[in-house]
Structure formats: C-alpha cells, structure tokens
Amino acid sequence: MPGITREEVAHLARLSRLELKAEELDHFAEQLNDIVDAVARVSEIAAEDVPPTSHPLPLTNVMRPDVVRPSLTPAEALAGAPAAEEQRFRVPQILGED
Amino acid sequence: MTDLIRNTAAETAAAIAAGEVSAVEVAQAHLDRIGAVDEKVHAFLHVDTDGALSAARAVDAKRAAGEELGPLAGVPLALKDVFTTKGVPTTAGSRILEGWVPPYDATLTRRLKDAGVVILGKTNMDEFAMGSSTENSAFGPTGNPWDLSRIPGGSGGGSAAALAAYEAPLAIGTDTGGSIRQPGAVTGTVGVKPTYGTVSRYGLIAFSSSLDQGGPCARTVLDAALLHEAIAGHDPLDSTSIDAPVLPLVAAARQGATGDLTGVRVGVVKEFAGEGYQAGVMQRFNESVEILRGLGATVVEVSCPSFSYALPAYYLIAPSEASSNLARFDAMRYGLRVGDDGTRSAEDVTALTREAGFGPEVKRRIILGTYALSSGYYDAYYGSAQKVRTLITQDFARSFADVDVLVSPTTPTTAFPIGERADDPMAMYLADLCTIPSNLAGNSAMSVPCGLAPEDNLPVGLQIIAPAMADDRLYRVGAAVEAALDNQWGHPLLEEAPAL
C-alpha cells in the first residue's frame, strides 16, 4: 500500500480543523508515513470471511421515559463558554457577510 | 514518614470506623505528603485541599452521629483528571481545557463521593489519555517515584505515581490500551482494567469510546477490589453500561490471599515473549509462573496468533474513534478559544484553537484517524482493523475454553528514561504490546507487582487476564501471587523504593 504524502497530511489536517504550521506538517508527514506503514499489516490477516467487530458489546438502543428531569441551569451550562450573550453561546460568524 | 500515609485503604477505613483516627487527620496527612513531595513527583495537576477536608469532615460527622460508614469511608483517593468533578478543574492533560470547571460530576465521581471517599485532587496524564509515559501532558511530565528521571507509565502516570509516592492509598485510572495496567507495572502498584461496560463512562472525557474503561489503582490487590466494588455497577446515563450485579471481588481477593490456587488453570500466552522483551522482565515473569504452579495452579502454554496484530489494529481503531470524539473541541461552548478577533469565521477560529490547544500526539492521532476513515482507505485500514478485532476476540474465546486466566508480562520493559521515546511514536506504542488485546476484546485484566528486574532494579508487572464478566478471577489469582511474593520478600515491594 502506498505511504502517506505531505500533501495528504495537509489535506487531512484541513478536514480535521487543525491549522498546522509548515514545520509541523513536515514532521508529522514523516512520522505518519512510518505509522501508516506499520499499521497496514492488519490487512495480512483480515480475510474476506472474517466479520468485523466495531464494539465489544452487542449494542442496542437504550431509552428512558420521555419525562422532564432536573438539568443544568442556563447559567451553569454557559459557565464554561468562551463568550455568552442573552443566555446563549456567542460564536464567531458562521455565514459570510453577504 | 507516618503510618497514616503508609497504611492500606482497608486499614485506614478500619481505623477511621473504629475511631482510632479521624478522617480529617488522614486527609491532612496525605495533603502534607503531597505538599512535601509533589514538587518532585508532579503526580497532581490540581490539589483540592478544601474539598478533601470538607469531605473528610463529613465522614467524621457521620461517624459521630452513629451512622454506618461504607468500607472506604474517609479513605483518600487521587482521581485521574479525565473524570469530571463538579466545581473542580478538569483538563484531561490538555491546554484546550485549561481552566475549565465542569458543571457536573461523572457517575464515577458521584459514586466515590457517595462512598465517603475523600478526593484529594486530579492527577496528571497524557493529553486525552493518549500516551504511555505521561510526557504528552500539556502541563509537564510526572516522575516515577522509583527513579524520578524515568517515566511512571501512561496515560495514568499521575495516578500510579501518587500511589507509589504514598500521596494517596487509592487512585482511579482509565484503560484504553493499557493506561491503568502499564503505569501499575512500572511503578510497582496494582492496576485493574474492568470488563468493558461495568464501570460507567458518563463524565469520562472520551478518547476511544469502544475501548475506554475506568478502573481501580491501589497498592494492594484487596484495596483495588474494595475500590472496584465501589465504582462498578449499572448506570442508566451510559448507554454501554452492562445491567448486571457487581461481582464479589473483595471476597475473591480474600480467598486468593489464603494462597490456594488448586484447580485454577493458567495459560501462558506464547506470543508475549522473545525479541523486545527485557531479560529481567522475563526472569521475574517466569518466576511468577512457577509461584502459580507452587500454589496449586495448572499451567499450560497457550497460543493466540492474532495478538501480534493487536497493536496495528489498535492504532487504527483508537485514532479513528478519537478523531470523531475530539471534534467536540471546537471552541464554541467551552474550553479554549483562539483568534476570535471579530474578523475570522467560526471555522477559522476552530482550526486556530485546535492548533494552539492540542499537543503533537493528539494531532497525529486525529490526522491518522481521519485518514483511516477516509473513503478509499476505510476498508484497507479501519475495516481490516475491525476484522483483526474479531480474530483477537476469537483467540481469547478459544483460550478461555481451556484455561481460567491467561498470564503475561504487563509490559515488555521496565520504566524508560523521560525523553527517550518522547518523539518516537512507534517506540512509545510498543509499551502497550501486551495490554491492548484485552481492550479490543473488552475482557478484564490486572497488573500486579512481581519483583524488580535485576539489571535496573525497577518494578516488573505480572499481567493476569480473565474473560469478560469474570473479573473476580483476577482478584483471586492476583491476591495469591501478591501474598506469596510479600511472604518471600518479607514486605511489600514498594518498601524497596528509595525515599523521596
């Protein structure tokens, strides 16, 4: 399998919302290439007929009765917010000005 | 050094219940110890002096009022900084959460408080529990009390070091790939990864949700059992919590301490030996196997061929889940926000914040996980890793048809020097070679001290592995080995640690 290139790492960093510096990119690209080489070994024994396991437990949805219960007050929920206004989280602009 | 800090949790709880000492005196003795040695050890990120003393006063008041005290009432504990604590800072070792004060308690925190356990503070850890040395903490490394220039293991190095430095008789860790057991092994303490789903993850800051499991850390097997029983049990707030009764772990530890393992079948995992395993680690491990035989256990060799693929599978599955879990750190609702100068978009602020707030290992794993989940690579990487997970689970099932527990060294080597593997991820990952299979399969496992490696006089851990929902077997076998070794040495291993 091909290794991972510096361009790919830059693309993945953008997808991951990580504003990497150029020297970080160089360093990570080299390290990630080694790591990807090593972990690619999993394909050696992952035969067609082996079912995948995503979780150690057989998962089922867990429901609770839909009733109102005590929860955080707005002040508690906003206590850790970087910025808050009128009982809401204040965030930087999400859409453009136009 | 006073007895108050050297006593086991069981002894401390008994002394408080009998009125021989107050919970406040016990808490103060530990706070004093932290004050005296933690500048050197750096096990704690935050010491909650007021909270600890107030919890201790509540236990003393309860006793004075004639109320019944639980089996751990008044016993101090060091809590890994990955569990939320209402009103007490919680960072998960990351700058991105520096200064964050959670508005709620994790279920585990709640249960500790309800049990009258005195939480002394929050312990240092690799950032978001990603690491095997605690060097990935944004707030500086922790020293191993056996040799402060060496790592205490990770990610729960702070919890293990707090025990070994007599700063607390009990601690809590989380084990995603070995983060309870490996620090236990390299600090000469006991660490247990419970069966996945038996200790609530509500309020545990998620790294890899299908692997993360909180568990007990202690200086003795019995103390670990007492703590394990206090934190385990079904929690409706965790959708992966198993609704089953808590096993009689304390009884199993007491039974094991009698030293009779007649009828217990032990399998030695053949694959966990050979190249990369330190000679002194293997020597102590092999001696432990002889001890098990001497106590009446039947020992056979067991082969688990897929285990050699556990490490690569883990380094695909854990980063994949992490890349998704850590998306919540977006600078919008809590934690750090960088670059919000009125001109930048939310997306740019998120990217700048994550760049400033995450350390290198977290960034590497987010990128690796994003890669493994990308279309075009998904089948080859994440998909194959999930198949390896099946094969490993099958290896365990086959083995446990013939034996009651499996054993191996907990780690291939003793504690390495701080800095040696800090920027060599592949070398660092090898520290969890023997512990990872149990996370992938979800079964239970323990590390118990089994001596010092002759070449460096550093602690070695024996790993005992049991099937899921059979954690009691760990305590029976672990307590038997502990009793035999304490008897052989004439004292617990930790007494050989140099004074701080």
Q: What is the pLDDT of residues B320-333, one digit of tens each?
A: 999 999 999 999 99
Mean pLDDT for B350-376 is 97
Kindly list the residues from chain A whose CB atom is less than 8 angstroms away from the CB atom of residue B324.
none
Kindly list the residues from chain A whose CB atom is less than 8 angstroms away from the CB atom of residue B342.
92
Q: How far apart are the first and last CA of chain B?
A: 10
pLDDT tens digits, residue range B45-68?
999 999 999 999 999 999 999 999
DSSP secondary structure letter of residue B34: H
Nearest CB among B358, B383, B426 relative to A52 is that of: B383
CA distance B431 to B414: 9
Whether residue B155 has a cis bond before it, omega within 30° of 0: yes
Å between A17 CA and nearest CA of chain B: 4
Pairwise CB contact (< 8 Å): A41 & B309: yes
B209 counts as catalytic: no
pLDDT band of residue B1 (cuts 50, 70, 90) is: very low
Cα-Cα-Cα-Cα dihedral sign, residues B120, B121, B126, B129 = positive
CA distance B378 to B376: 6
Mean pLDDT for B383-389 is 97
Give helix B249-257 / helix B471-489 axis angle, nearest 10°.
30
Instruction: From the options 3.40.390, 1.10.20, 2.40.50, 1.10.3470, give the CATH code of A6-44.
Output: 1.10.20
Pairwise CB contact (< 8 Å): B210 & A55: yes
A87 has a pLDDT exceeding 70: yes
CA distance B171 to B92: 16
Active-site pick, B80, B133, B288, B320:
B80
**pLDDT at residue B3, rounded to an integer:** 87
pLDDT band of residue A97 (cuts 50, 70, 90) is: low
Amino acid at B243: D
pLDDT band of residue A3 (cuts 50, 70, 90) is: confident
Is A30's Cβ below 8 Å from some Cβ in B?
Answer: no
Which of helix, strand or coil describes residue A37?
helix
Mean pLDDT for B90-101 is 97
Kindly list the residues from chain B whose CB atom is less than 8 angstroms away from the CB atom of residue A92.
340, 342, 344-346, 348-349
pLDDT tens digits, residue range B409-460?
999 999 999 999 998 999 999 999 999 999 999 999 999 999 999 999 999 9
Q: How far apart are the first and last CA of chain A?
A: 46
Domains of chain B: 3-307+390-496 (3.90.1300.10)
Work out the percent of chain B whose per-residue pLDDT is above 70: 100
Kindly list the residues from chain B whose CB atom is less than 8 angstroms away from the CB atom of residue A40.
312, 380-381
A1 has a pLDDT exceeding 90: no
Rounded to the nearest integer, the mean pLDDT of chain B is 97
Phi and psi at residue B458, in whole multiples of 5°? -115, 150
Mean pLDDT for B213-233 is 98
Q: Give the tokens for residue B66.
A: 């004639």
Q: Give the residue among B248, B180, B240 at the shortest CA–CA distance from B216.
A: B180
Q: Give the tokens for residue B174.
A: 């989380």
CA distance B146 to B155: 18
A98 has a pLDDT exceeding 70: no
B80 counts as catalytic: yes
> Where are chain A's structural domains?
6-44
B372 has a pLDDT exceeding 80: yes
CA distance B143 to B43: 8
Which of helix, strand or coil describes residue A18?
coil
B155 counts as catalytic: yes
Residue of A nearest to B342 (CA): A92
Q: Give the tokens for residue B458.
A: 């550093």
Mean pLDDT for B288-316 is 98
Amino acid at B138: A
